[in-house]
């Protein structure tokens, strides 16, 4: 459990630094998924067999939840309430929907990077056997 929390904390810090960099240099919203994919490859190389999908979801969910709260707070609040009214929901649900979308995309990217590294390692093992 301690290793899981350490990995989650490391992942959260890396995503926060990447998000800050992408905030300073404007880019498409999905561009943060490329470094997350690379993080999945690196983390999988160091510690194979971890639950990278769950780590990615929790880290992405928390990151998107905090970022949405910050942007809503920085413009005086009400933006997510207005968005929620358009969808027939309260503003709190918009936070959780956006967090879930961010969590799923981050989870898929981190898992894909880990799976890619796993496949590369398996290919190297199988080619060395022949």
Tokens of 70: 């910050």
Confidence of residue 105 (pLDDT cuts 50, 70, 90): very high
CA distance 18 to 33: 10
With a cut of 80, say whether residue 38 has pLDDT above it.
Answer: yes
Whether the model pTM is above 0.85: no
Domain residue ranges in the chain: 2-122
More confident residue, 79 or 115: 115
Buried/exposed code over 120-129 (b: 16+ C-beta within 10 A; e: otherwise): eeeeeeeeee
Cβ atoms of 19 and 62 within 8 Å: the answer is no
CA distances to 37, 42, 48, 74 from 119, in Å: 14, 13, 11, 44
Reported confidence tier of residue 125, pLDDT bands at 50, 70, 90: low
- The 10s digit of each residue's pLDDT in 40-99 is 888 877 776 678 888 889 989 998 888 888 888 888 877 788 888 888 888 788 889 989
Dihedral sign of CA atoms 42, 47, 49, 54 in order: negative
pLDDT at 109 over 80: yes
Q: Is the pLDDT confidence value at 130 over 60?
A: no
């Amino acid at each position: 459990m301690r290793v899981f929390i350490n990995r989650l904390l490391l992942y959260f810090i890396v995503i926060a630094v990447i998000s800050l960099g992408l905030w300073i240099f404007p880019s498409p919203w999905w561009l943060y998924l490329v470094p997350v994919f690379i993080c999945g490859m690196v983390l999988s190389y160091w510690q194979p067999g971890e639950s990278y999908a769950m780590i990615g979801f929790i880290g992405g969910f928390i990151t998107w939840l905090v970022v949405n709260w910050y942007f809503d707070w920085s413009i005086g609040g009400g933006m997510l309430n207005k968005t929620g009214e358009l969808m027939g929901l309260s503003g709190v649900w918009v936070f959780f929907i956006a967090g879930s979308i961010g969590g799923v995309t981050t989870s898929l990217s981190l898992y894909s990077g880990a799976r890619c590294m796993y496949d590369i390692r398996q290919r190297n093992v199988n080619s060395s056997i022949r």
